[in-house]
Copies of this chain bind each other. A is one copy, B any other.
């Protein structure tokens, strides 16, 4: 039996792709909010506003559905950003992480990380794939900056990216629920300031050769 994939629609079923997307989005929300312990096909069907039969037809088990949903929400969107300057690349990376954390499944990545320990067979592979794709994307930003002469040859991506990506994450984690809307409204300014802060350290510590 072929693995179900987002957007896979059989002949004569023209609306399948839309139903799939609804199911995957609902699945990701349920997983992000409640985690694997409370993840059921019933809950997903209710949240998606589609029939249980439609879910069961595509995903016979909750394991298949959660893995497809994580892939749909966390693996596929990770596309590389090449704006032509280090500042814009970093800003774009920070902005996309902020959007993700403030979005409907912002907790999903963190949850996946903590649950990979409890359910390694189900989640370790996906968790590693996401981690790898983020690290590779982020390293490419620094490599391009070195190639353009914006940073010295020995510039290490580690500190630049830990402070930028971790900065966004810590900012979201440190904000209490009741100040979340205010923080979201100010987030474009925060992303600018964070980018400038990290860039100052990077260009001072790793000046062009």
Contact = CB atoms under 8 A, between A and B. Distances in A.
Interface residues of A, number: 47
Contacts of A33: 117-118
Contacts of A201: 197-198, 200-201, 204
A174 interface: yes
Interface stretch (A49-57, A76-84, A144-152, A156-164): A156-164
A132 to B, nearest CB: 8
B163 A35 contact: no
A174 B114 contact: no
Contact of A115 (B35, B113, B162): B35
Contact of A165 (B34, B114, B164, B170): B170
A122 interface: no
Nearest to A200: B201
A205 interface: yes
A193 interface: yes
A159 B166 contact: no
Interface of A: 33-38, 107, 110-111, 113-115, 117-118, 124, 128, 131-132, 134-135, 158-159, 161-171, 173-174, 176-177, 190, 193-194, 196-198, 200-201, 204-205
Those 3 A-B pairs whose CB atoms lie nearest each other, nearest first: A37-B37, A166-B166, A166-B170
10 contacts: A35-B35, A35-B118, A36-B37, A131-B176, A159-B167, A159-B194, A159-B197, A165-B174, A166-B168, A166-B171
